[in-house]
Structure 1
Amino acid sequence: MAKLHAYPPHHNAGAEWAAHNLLRALAARGHQVEVHLSEAPGPREAFDLDGVQVIPPALRRDFGKETRTAGVVISHLENVPSAAAAARGWGRPLVVLCHNTFPATFKQIGSGTTALAVYNSQWMAAAAGEYFAEHPKLARPEREVIVRPPVVAADYAASPGNCITLINLFVNKGSDVFWQLAERMPGRKFLAVRGSYGEQDVRDLPNVEVVDNVPGPEMAKLVYGRTRILLMPSEYESWGRVGAEAMASGIPVIATPTPGLRESLGKAGTFVRKDDLDGWQAAVERLDDPAAYETASAAALQRSAQLDPAADLARWCKAIEALG
């Protein structure tokens, strides 16, 4: 049995849905998988989600004690220290899903407890190598594997709409660029989706519609089916899951050139420095040309096919099974 100590999806939607897709792949292979949520909001009864049993805090099941029946303990984000203590106490292998290159992430997996570290990109794996080389007193995980955040194209595919969209109005996601573009281009429709974390930068412009946070299974219908261009003017992205989701519908993505976004979007992405507002406007206007849009859309679909998660999920499952 694999047990995950996790936040519910509203805490950090991208990380949680990426984790869920990994877990449902294990369940599909016949493994028993439990997720023990660490925050109270949400359901009060256990429920099944794609073959994964979800245990809310309201049931008052002690995760530390629960790990005694686990074959593998999986954790991520701020839950890693407590999960590591539980895994160490019961002698169970600990797997850590790494979603960023922040020092705290590498310190947690370098505690000497981690049996397997899962990096979401090649550049994150390289950053981990550099960090451990600079901190030789930390214990590098026994095993490491790269598993890109799995996006099943069929889950997100939709016929693109007519909006220029930003997902998550958190300042670090580039909300200021979004609002300035909307102000500069009053004749165009903009769509802003509230994020699941961070203070949301909500303003009032007549050509901008702001919608509440959208659950993963409804993104195709409520967001990508309304989107013509996706903006990702982020300060930091370790990968950039929403870009991969949008490309499943052939939606062109304009983004800042962070290492993660360059790796995830590949040649299909259009990259503009965050402080180059004229460049952002020009990139949007270039896609007014039908031929240019068709070319960008075809490139997005091609990149989406290249990101098919089958091989990554197989690699993930084999890595987990090797621990058991």
Structure 2
Amino acid sequence: MDSAATRAHMPPQVSFTRPKSLSIAARVYGYPPTHNAGSEWMLHSMLRPLVEHGHRVTVWLSHPGSIEKRYDIGGVSVVPYQEGADFAAAVQKADVLISHFENVPLVSGLARTRQIPVVVICHDNFATTFHNAAGADLLVYNSEWIRRDGEIFYARYPPEFLPKRTIVVRPPVIAEDYRTEPGDRATLVNLNADKGGELFWRIAAWTPEWSFLGVRGAYGQQIMPPPRLPNCEVVDSVPGTNMREHVYSRSRVMLMPSLYESWGRVAVEACASGIPVIAHPTPGLVESLGAAGIFAYRDDVNAWIHALLALRDPVNWARASRRAKARSEQLTRESDLDLWCDAVESLARERRPASLRGASAARRLWRSQ
């Protein structure tokens, strides 16, 4: 890296500035506000600062949704599947392409054919995810533990198979978007089996001292409470923009007995309001919650019951709440969004026309002297 002294002595004719407005196109399955999975909200949180940097960001959807006309959310223009038949032609002039999950092979193919830099976001450590991301110009891991697994995967392959650059961007959570006064419920968001829907209702049956709030998820078969559980309430899926009002303002404790979480965005959103989180220790939740987490294995129902009963004590709850707020503040201070924006913009600098590459050549020559 250039030291401050080195930068001070760079030739005056060599100038490196943020690129002018870029055209950035993303191709994904669904997008907020109608598609409420954590990975899509992570992507939106990453695209918003690119818009704030003055870039034109368009998201093209690959699956029909309930919104059939182009719309804008946070400055990001979203083209629904119903209007997106010309995606392949429209992105020919894009400066950067972005994708994740099942759209990566298509987008990577278009990027190679048209020599457009491609960014792939990895939200999990599945072999298919890493395989599809091979050769990406920029690979974004959503946590350090996913990065470590990715490096182990790619270590078996020759250099030409590897992503050209990798960074870690932990799912950004803008704390003020979620901060509120906690309520009185023990809450689970998404009642499918992998998220712990069945365990949630077992805990509710054994802790009548608590009132429970179950929020239907955006995906997966939802497990409803058994009859005659008077301390339970179920509400429909809540858009991310309404989570503060309809979920966190009603929650005193967040339960996350998930079988798998690569990060655990809901946990971090809850921490913004000082809501303690009891979680199964998946690698992602251990990393995201840090010292704020209250961990219990999902196959040990007694551990969950005892943790909840302990949080009935106002002193214990206040202590756990302070740890949650401190973790939220730490993640806000250590945001990866500047790193992310710089990485995307650097792809455009590297792709600039031959007439503009002289500065890069001059810089390399100067460094070698």
Same fold, TM-score > 0.5, yes or no:
yes
Which of 290, 306, 314 does residue 330 from structure 2 map onto? 306
> Deviation at 1:133?
1.4
Worse-matched range after superposition: 173-182 or 39-48: 39-48
Query: Which residue of structure 1 aligns with residue 302 of structure 2?
Result: 278
Contact 1:151 1:309 in 2 (8 A): no
Distance in 2 (alpha carbons) for counterparts of 1:138 and 1:189: 55
What do the CA deviations read for 1:144-172 (whole angstroms, capped 9, x no partner)? 01000000000001110000000011111
Alignment partner, residue 156 of structure 1: 178
Q: Give the equivalent residue in structure 1 for 2:27.
A: 5
Query: Are 2:347 and 1:323 equivalent residues in the alignment?
Result: yes
Q: Is the 8 A contact 1:150 1:309 kept in 2?
A: no
Superposed CA RMSD in Å reads 1.4
1:32 corresponds to: 56
Distance in 2 between residues matched to 1:12 and 1:97, nearest whole Å:
17
Query: Is the 1:194–1:212 contact (alpha carbons within 8 Å) kept by the matching residues of 2?
Result: yes
Find the residue that maps to 1:117 and give its secondary structure: strand
Mapped to 1, the partners of 2:214 and 2:224 lie a distance apart of: 9
Q: Distance in 1 between matches of 2:178 and 2:335?
A: 19
SS state at 1:134 partner? coil
How far 1:309 sits from its partner (Å)?
Answer: 6.6
Structure 1 position 60, deviation (Å): 3.5
Structure with greater Cα Rg:
2
Alignment: residue pair count? 322
| Change beyond 3 A, Cα 1:12–1:97 | farther
Query: What is the deviation of 1:78?
Result: 1.1
Partner residue, 1:262: 286
Shift, 1:224, TM fit: 0.2
User: Would the alpha carbon gap of residues 6 and 309 (structure 1) be closer, same or farther in structure 2, given more than 3 Å must change?
Assistant: farther
Q: 1:48 to 1:309 in 2, by over 3 A?
A: farther
Alignment correspondent of 1:92: 116
Mapped contact 1:267–1:299 kept (Cα < 8 A): yes
Q: Which one of 72, 80, 95 corresponds to residue 48 of structure 1?
A: 72
Which sections of structure 1, spanning at least 5 residues, go unmatched?
none
SS at match of 2:259: coil
Counterpart in 2 of 1:105? 129
Give the Cα–Cα distance (whole angstroms) in 2 for the partners of residues 160 and 12 of structure 1. Answer: 22
Aligned to 1:78: 102
1:118 equivalent in alignment to 2:140: yes
State the Cα distance separating 1:137 from its structure 2 match.
Answer: 8.0
Structure 1 outlier segments of 4+, above 3 Å:
9-12, 134-138
Query: Is contact 2:36-2:240 (8 Å) kept?
Result: no
Q: Which residue of 2 aligns with 1:185?
A: 207
- What's the CA shift for 1:310? 6.7
| Greater displacement, 38-47 / 239-248 | 38-47
- Whole-angstrom CA distance in 2 between matches of 1:309 and 1:210: 35
Q: Equivalent of 2:93, from 59, 66, 69?
A: 69
Q: C-alpha offsets along residues 22-73 of structure 1, whole Å, 9 cap, x if unaligned?
A: 0111000000000001111222221111111111112143222222010000
CA contact 2:181–2:249 (8 Å) conserved in 1: yes
Confirm or deny: 8 A CA contact 2:185 2:252 kept in the other structure. yes
Runs of 5+ unmatched residues, structure 2: 1-22, 349-369
Give the fraction of aligned pairs with identical amino acids, expressed as a percent: 47
Q: TM-score, normalised on structure 2?
A: 0.85
Amino acid at match of 2:335: A
TM-score (normalizing by structure 1):
0.96
Of 253, 257, 266, the residue aligned with 1:229 is: 253
Distance 1:318 1:249 in 2: 30
> CA 1:258–1:138 in structure 2 vs 1: closer, same or farther (change >3 Å)?
farther
Residues 11 and 197 in structure 1, CA contact (< 8 A), matched pair in contact too: no
1:102 alignment partner AA: F
Question: What secondary structure does 1:279 align onto?
Answer: helix
Alpha-carbon distance in 1 for matches of 2:35, 2:128: 18
Mapped to 1, the partners of 2:225 and 2:110 lie a distance apart of: 44
Q: 1:133 to 1:61 in 2, by over 3 A?
A: same
Show CA shifts across 1:271-321 (max 9, x none).
Answer: 111111111100111111111111000000000001117731111000000
Secondary structure of the residue aligned to 2:155 is helix
Take 1:11 and 1:81, find their aligned partners in 2: how far apart are those partners? 22
The amino acid across from 1:286 in the alignment is A
1:134 aligns with 2:156: yes
Q: Which moved more, 1:234-243 or 1:301-310?
A: 301-310
* Secondary structure class of the residue paired with 2:335: helix
2:114 is aligned with what amino acid? W
2:268–2:289 Cα contact (<8 Å) kept: yes
> For the Cα contact (< 8 Å) 1:5–1:36, is it kept in 2?
yes
Counterpart code for 2:151: G
Bigger Cα displacement from structure 2, 198-207 vs 293-302: 198-207
CA positional deviation for 1:124: 0.8
